[in-house]
Amino acid sequence: MSAVLDRPARGSRHRLQRMPERARYDVEAVRAVLDAGLVAHVGFVIEAQPFVIPMLYARDGDEVLLHGSVASRLMKTLAEGLPCCLSVTHVDGLVLARSHFNHSMNYRSAVLFGRATLIEGPGEKRAALARLVNVLIPRRAELTREADAQELAATKILRFVVEDASVKSRSGPPEDHPDDLALPVWAGVVPLAMHAGPPEPAEDLHPDADADDPTPPHPAYVLRARADT
Amino acid sequence: MSAVLDRPARGSRHRLQRMPERARYDVEAVRAVLDAGLVAHVGFVIEAQPFVIPMLYARDGDEVLLHGSVASRLMKTLAEGLPCCLSVTHVDGLVLARSHFNHSMNYRSAVLFGRATLIEGPGEKRAALARLVNVLIPRRAELTREADAQELAATKILRFVVEDASVKSRSGPPEDHPDDLALPVWAGVVPLAMHAGPPEPAEDLHPDADADDPTPPHPAYVLRARADT
């Protein structure tokens, strides 16, 4: 199986300090991978033990907002400014070759190194929460009630400041050994993508809900468009 | 936004030492999350810097096989038996509430703590590679050419031995504040799942390929079944 999902070691991290202009291509590539996802895997270290936790995120310029529970010890630890690693991966397809060795996957992944700080100010916190809601469905935050003081107090949001980032991807058909082309086995790519199913309305939905939900016209429609891009 | 994707801290890790019988429910839960996925995010530490890399994996009993490149410094480092954390997450739906705070996601995730060792013996290595191929499409390894000595030498496969594991999940409709039910905005769940698109045959496909591909009858069919479970 060809190497598809390994990462460059630290010494060869693609350096994008605060994403300068000279690395513009890479900045765009990192943004594109982040903007296509919902959940990041965030790694950090406590007493030599690595932790990897899935977190809902939203890109905010060249920083990343992360959402967690106020009660979480991990959020508190992250907020102390420890070195972090944030990884987002999209699986795009199965690459089916004629040999075990050349089987692979099509994917796009971004790995970001940096540190997180806690968002403290209520105004900034409220804006960050709205941004995280809009990651689920664009413009959803404008249609729903903002957080009140009590809810804000029960929410922790981190701002992840990027120090380095890199993108890695694979696309296209299998690359078989010439000798294997004589094997009469199907080979090619099975594309994979995240799709939305029919929305399941809440049982206690307000009777005027659909009519008063101007944008997006329908949650699944918007999400499907997002998944297809 | 309610806390959906945070993890218990290390002190409260659900202990499943070598997955004993007394934790059977959790063993089944961990297995189910692992068996529904293709890519794990693996975290480890080099000189106080956490790394999180996406890797193709296959469950092998209560251990996990991980695939990477022989040239990868990260694979070499992992193979030294450092403490690792392996995380697998499935996003099942967007939970759209009437308030920003109660927006959430439906998901299943497993977090495993343990250490990895390199698989050295050619026989064990060949079997592990076949198992990784069968994660892409069941029985695919039986239809395609096994790795030869040169290919085995160019492949590194790790065996991740689990020390602790836990599963966390959310399902069901949004849980709104009673006062918010009067808001005439759509609320509910938009289900999400990974689906296979139409297979894209390789351009140099053998003319007898379809006829000689007895099981599975068609890659996309099998994969769709997998995605729907």
Enumerate the domain spans of chain A.
11-172
Structure tokens at A55: 């977190």
Q: Which of A50-54, A74-78, B86-90, B121-125 has the lowest mean pLDDT?
A: A74-78
**Structure pTM?**
0.86
Query: Does pLDDT of B18 surpass 70?
Result: no
Give residue B45's pLDDT: 93
Structure tokens at A190: 């099975």
Specify which residues B94 forms β-bridges with. Answer: B105, B190
Structure tokens at A32: 């594109």
Query: Does pLDDT of B166 surpass 70?
Result: yes
Which of the pair, A14 or B117, is modelled with greater confidence? B117
Report the SS3 class of residue A68. Answer: strand
CA B136 – CA A192 distance, rounded (Å):
11
Neighbouring residues of B167: CB distance < 8 A, sequence distance ≥ 6: B26, B29, B30, B33, B108, B109, B110
CA B82 – CA A43 distance, rounded (Å):
15
CA A119 – CA A97 distance, rounded (Å):
48
Region B20-26 average pLDDT: 45
Specify which residues A85 forms β-bridges with. Answer: A43, A113
Q: Which of A110-114, B24-28, B213-217 has the lowest mean pLDDT?
A: B213-217
Q: Name which of A55, A101, A111, A221 to mutate to probe chain B: the one with the most chain B Cβ atoms within 10 A of its Cβ.
A: A101
Q: Measured between beta carbons, which residues in chain B are less than 8 angstroms from residue A194?
A: 91, 192-195
Give residue A11's pLDDT: 44
Q: Which of A2-16, A188-202, B117-131 has the lowest mean pLDDT?
A: A2-16
Query: Does pLDDT of A95 surpass 80?
Result: yes
Residue A206's pLDDT band (cuts 50, 70, 90): confident
Q: What sign for the dihedral angle of Cα A90, A196, B194, B218? A: negative
Give residue B98's pLDDT: 95
Whether residue A39 and residue B10 make contact (CB cut-off 8 A), yes or no, is no
Region A10-37 average pLDDT: 62
CA A99 – CA A118 distance, rounded (Å):
49
Whether residue A209 and residue B195 make contact (CB cut-off 8 A), yes or no, is no
Neighbouring residues of A223: CB distance < 8 A, sequence distance ≥ 6: A137, A196, B94, B190, B192
Q: Which of B64, B35, B39 is nearest to B53 (CA)?
A: B39
Q: Hey, what amino acid is at A166?
A: S
Query: Does pLDDT of B64 surpass 50?
Result: yes
- Please give the mean pLDDT across all residues of chain B: 82
Q: What sign for the dihedral angle of Cα A214, A216, A218, A219? A: negative
* DSSP string for A29-73: HHHHHHHT-SEEEEEEEETTEEEEEEEEEEEETTEEEEEEETT-H
CA A4 – CA A6 distance, rounded (Å):
6
Give residue A1's pLDDT: 55
Query: Does pLDDT of B187 surpass 80?
Result: yes
Query: Does pLDDT of A88 surpass 70?
Result: yes
Report the SS3 class of residue A96. Answer: strand
Percent of chain A with pLDDT over 70: 78
Query: Does pLDDT of A15 surpass 80?
Result: no
Q: Measured between beta carbons, which residues in chain A are less than 8 angstroms from residue B196?
A: 190-192
What count of other Cβ atoms lies within 10 Å of the Cβ of residue B178?
7
Percent of chain B with pLDDT over 70: 78
Give residue A35's pLDDT: 92
* Cα–Cα–Cα angle for B127, B129, B133, rounded to 5 degrees: 115
Q: Which of A3-17, A119-133, A145-159, B75-89 has the lowest mean pLDDT?
A: A3-17
Whether residue B185 and residue A9 make contact (CB cut-off 8 A), yes or no, is no
Q: Measured between beta carbons, which residues in chain B are less than 8 angstroms from residue A136?
A: 94, 96, 103, 105
CATH architecture for the domain at A11-172:
Roll (2.30)
Query: Does pLDDT of A211 surpass 60?
Result: no
Whether residue A99 and residue B144 make contact (CB cut-off 8 A), yes or no, is yes
Whether residue A205 and residue B197 make contact (CB cut-off 8 A), yes or no, is no
Query: Does pLDDT of B56 surpass 80?
Result: yes
CA B5 – CA B228 distance, rounded (Å):
23
**ipTM, two decimals:** 0.86
Which of A48, A148, A155 faces B1 most closely, judged by CB atoms?
A155
Indicate the CATH number of B10-193 among 3.40.10.10, 1.10.10.10, 3.90.1640.10, 2.30.110.10: 2.30.110.10
Which of the pair, A6 or B198, is modelled with greater confidence? B198
Give residue A77's pLDDT: 81
Give residue A18's pLDDT: 39
| Cβ-contact A5, A20 below 8 angstroms | no
Whether residue B187 and residue A202 make contact (CB cut-off 8 A), yes or no, is yes
Give residue A227's pLDDT: 45
Region B58-85 average pLDDT: 84
Which of the pair, B64 or A3, is modelled with greater confidence? B64
Query: Does pLDDT of B87 surpass 80?
Result: yes
Which of B3, B52, B107 faces A87 most closely, judged by CB atoms?
B52
Report the SS3 class of residue B15. Answer: strand
